[in-house]
Structure 1
Amino acid sequence: MIRAWLVLAGVAFAHLVVRTRQTLVATMGVAVGVGFFLAVSGMMSGSQQDFIRTLVDSAPHIIVRDEQRSPGLQPAVTAFKGAAVQVRGVRPKDEVRGLKDWSAMLDDARALPGAIAAPSLTGGVAVRFAGRTEAISLNGIDPRIEGKLIKLEETLKGGTLADLLVRPDGIIITRPLAQRIGANLGDTLVVTSAAGVLQRMRVVALIEPDARAGFYAGDNTAYGLLRTAQVLFARPNIVNQLHIKVADPEQADVEAKVLEGRWGYKWESWQERSRDILNLLVVRNVIMYAVISAILLVASFGIYTAVSTSVADKRRDIAILRAMGFTGQDVQQIFLVEGLVVGVIGALAGFALGTLLLEALSRVPLSINGQPLELPLDRGPLQYAIAGAASLASALVAAWLPARKAASVDPVDILRGAA
């Protein structure tokens, strides 16, 4: 069996060597297709992985809010349930906001393997400085834990989260917000909440938008100490959010649903918050692989042409092989081997070309807001495996069509015609 395969491979190699120029062109076509496949897929996949990593790191994996998944029924509706009664002008029941039994919920969340959880009180405030007023969202946090949940510390300039523990009246704002109101580090802002409480807070650090850090909450977001926020919002010992980081971000959606069924509040995972974006990424992947598959499809035409020409030129040789005892399947395998050899050599050359293209892309100078940025690229083995498998599959399909035609050649008709 092995000897028979060696004979078939020897005949296939002889055909390829005789037609060196055409073999080289077909091989280069596969190499270019595989190389650009790796470059495009590496760039697109790398940017997607970097974007998802930013989504995961820019906010807690799970956020618990003081609201229900579905709004509760009003008392007027439940009092006359199923009756032919229509109630008009009833004042809706006001709900007391804030998480009930939040300390027990926090302990339950921390019981998850490898989980980190922290309470938070978030609300809208107005900050005023030098006659300028801006509406922002103030997050009252525990600085000792919040820095482990999100990559906030890496974006701070001029201070750290620990400064909030030293100065309970401290506030951390974004640099764009500071520029709009004309404030700098150490300046004192007048902060007013919806409860009518006014408090002077000192800027202890600035959040610098930095694409390399993988985190940015938004221009109108600020951070302060949890106790200070509770005083400012006139809600002592109350929190309206829990921030949770789990060991495996991919399991955040599953764990959020389990805990939501247990406690009833809205446990929102990062997948749920980013559902529309993730769906767009799926569409983007379909378009990407369709385009780069078309590149390989074009390259496979070179193999089809090379094998078809070889079949046409070797019809007499095929007849002689059949007369010597080679079966139609043997002949078909010869030309399949030709296509496979071209595909393998082209894929290996394409790997080298793709690696060079990825290296060149990594050296392209990019910047965002004046800060250098390295293009995220995926150079993992999966991309090479996909490119190699796709090139070999297209090579076999392109060679199979003319190989099947070669297998159906009638040696008697060809030899008789030659005579």
Structure 2
Amino acid sequence: MTEEDRLFGLSGKMTTGSPMNLLSTHNGILLGSKLAGKLHMTIGDMVTATASSGAQMRFRVAGIYEFGLAPVDEGKVYMSLSAIQQLLGRDRDYITDIRIRLKDRNKARSLAAALGRQYGYRADDWATVNAPIKAGNRIRDTLTYVVSFTMLLVAGFGIYNIMNMVILNKMKDIAILKAQGFARKDITQIFLSQSLAIGISGGLLGLLIGFILSYGLARLPFPHDDYMVIKFYPVSFEIRHYLIGAVFGLATTFLAGWSPARKAARQDPVTILRA
């Protein structure tokens, strides 16, 4: 039970009792919250478990847990290994599967193949077992990046138009600067720095507003669902998402300001002053 608790963090999922009660209670059992609700069970009550062979045993409820997933909370229970072996009429060597938690999940596929070859048993990695969930996450992430990139691209065109308008309004100032000896690279740096200033200030403000809105969404109650028990909208606050947004924002700003800045640097001061 200690290893199961370390693997899945069962202690943090308990609504009543503790996983350790399973070891201190004779023929103890841990029920999911939905299953306990259907059976009208609470801690200390007795429940009868029936095996496929027809054998029956009485168990005392030692605790109730809630993972927030209806299939788990409704169809999974925890018993001691010796008790389930006795219920199924098996010897003490009988087990069905062993679960291994890795520090690096990316090594799961290669390790599963190596264990299967070494021991001759079937070994499935987490990506194979949860392939539909992984595929759904990949589609969701791809759509998120596409939408984000499109928004940044639109913002880049906005900055590009702003810089073009600034250059048109500053033509005489550009001519005066070049007449005073400013080189092309100096003019480019002036307008490119202005573009980057717009991008950096806008990016920081966008990250701040995005964080505030995300935090507000994370505190918004999630609609009740019989298949999934979630109290609030799940929002990820990983730092890499903010870093990716900042890098893309700076890159878009730089590219949007580079062309107008080069255009300003190529202007002929004589032509401008004659106009």
- Same structural fold, with TM-score higher than 0.5 when normalized by the shorter chain: yes
Larger Rg: 1
Q: Give the deviation of 1:287 after TM superposition.
A: 0.9
Q: 5+ unaligned residues in a row in structure 1: which ranges?
A: 1-142
1:230 alignment partner in structure 2: 85
Measure the CA separation in 2 of the matches of 1:351 and 1:308: 26
Task: Give, in angstroms, the shift of residue 262 of structure 1.
Answer: 0.8
Q: Is the 8 A contact 2:192 2:257 kept in 1?
A: yes
| Superimposed CA distance per residue, residues 224-252 of structure 1 (whole angstroms, 9 cap, x where no aligned partner) | 22122222222212222123233444433
Matching of residues 95-110 of structure 1 within 5 Å: none
Alpha-carbon separation, structure 2, partners of 1:351 and 1:162: 44
SS at match of 1:240: coil
Amino acid at match of 2:85: Q
Query: Within the alignment, does 1:338 sit opposite 2:203 as a pair?
Result: no
Q: 1:144 to 1:324 in 2, by over 3 A?
A: closer
Higher helix proportion (structure 1 or 2): 2
Partner residue, 1:194: 52
Secondary structure, counterpart of 1:207 in structure 2: strand
How many residues are matched?
272
SS in 2 for 1:243: coil
Question: Are 1:283 and 2:145 an aligned pair?
Answer: no
- Per the TM alignment, residue 372 of structure 1 is displaced from its structure 2 partner at its CA by 8.2
Identity of aligned residues (%): 32
CA distance in 2, matches of 1:181, 1:352: 48
SS in 2 for 1:266: coil
Aligned to 1:403: 261
Provide Cα deviations, 1:256-282, integer angstroms capped at 9, x if missing partner.
222222112112232321122122212
> Pairwise mapping of residues 311-350 of structure 1 onto structure 2 (< 5 A)?
311-350=167-206
Give the deviation of 1:286 after TM superposition.
Answer: 1.5
Q: In structure 2, what is the Cα distance between the partners aligned to 1:261 and 1:357?
A: 50
Higher relative contact order (CA 8 A, sep 6+): 1
Q: Do residues 162 (structure 1) and 16 (structure 2) align?
A: no
Check the 8 A contact 1:328/1:408 in 2, yes or no: yes
**How far is 1:390 from its partner?**
1.9
Name the amino acid aligned to 2:259. L
Tell me how far apart the structure 1 counterparts of residues 42 and 210 of structure 2 sit (CA, whole Å).
Answer: 48
Aligned amino acid, residue 227 of structure 1: S
Task: Give the alignment partner of residue 3 of structure 2, picking from 145, 155, 162.
Answer: 145
Q: Displacement of 1:391 after TM fit?
A: 1.9
Tell me how far apart the structure 1 counterparts of residues 191 and 115 of structure 2 sit (CA, whole Å): 60
Question: Structure 1 331/178 Cα, relative in aligned 2: closer, same or farther at 3 Å?
Answer: closer
Q: Distance in 2 between matches of 1:156 and 1:241?
A: 24
Post-superposition Cα deviations, 1:343-386, rounded to whole Å, max 9, x if no partner, equal 12222333443343344334434575798835444445433322
* Equivalent of residue 61 in structure 2, options 204, 210, 218: 204
Query: Structure 2: any 5+ residue segments left out of the alignment?
Result: none
Residues 147 and 208 of structure 1, relative CA distance in 2, 3 Å threshold = closer
SS of alignment partner, residue 301 of structure 1: helix
Distance in 1 between residues matched to 2:47 and 2:208, nearest whole Å: 58
Please tell me whether residue 256 in structure 1 is matched to residue 127 in structure 2.
no
The whole-number CA distance in structure 2 between the counterparts of 1:175 and 1:362 is: 24
Contact conserved, 2:16 with 2:63, CA < 8 A, in 1?
A: yes
Deviates more, 1:181-190 or 1:237-246: 181-190
Name which of 226, 251, 262 aligns with 1:393.
251
Cα 1:346/1:171, change in 2 over 3 Å: closer
Q: What is the distance in 2 between the residues matched to 1:222 and 1:209?
A: 11
Structure 1 residues 353, 247: CA separation in 2 closer, same or farther (over 3 Å shift)? closer
- 1:162-204, CA deviations, whole angstroms, 9 ceiling, x for partnerless residues? 34334443333323223434545444433332234x2231232
Instruction: Tell me the equivalent position of 2:148.
Output: 292
Q: Does 1:244 align with 2:105?
A: no
Whether contact under 8 Å (1:257, 1:267) holds in the other structure is yes
2:155 alignment partner, SS class: helix
8 A contact 1:186–1:202 mirrored in 2: no
TM-score, length-scaled by structure 1: 0.56
Between the aligned partners of 2:258 and 2:66, the Cα distance in structure 1 is: 55
Question: Which has a greater percent of strand?
Answer: 1
Contact 1:151 1:215 in 2 (8 A): no
In structure 1, the partner of 2:76 is: 221
Alignment CA distance shift 1:291-1:218 (3 Å): same
8 Å CA contact 1:169–1:202 kept in 2: the answer is yes
Partner of 1:364: 220
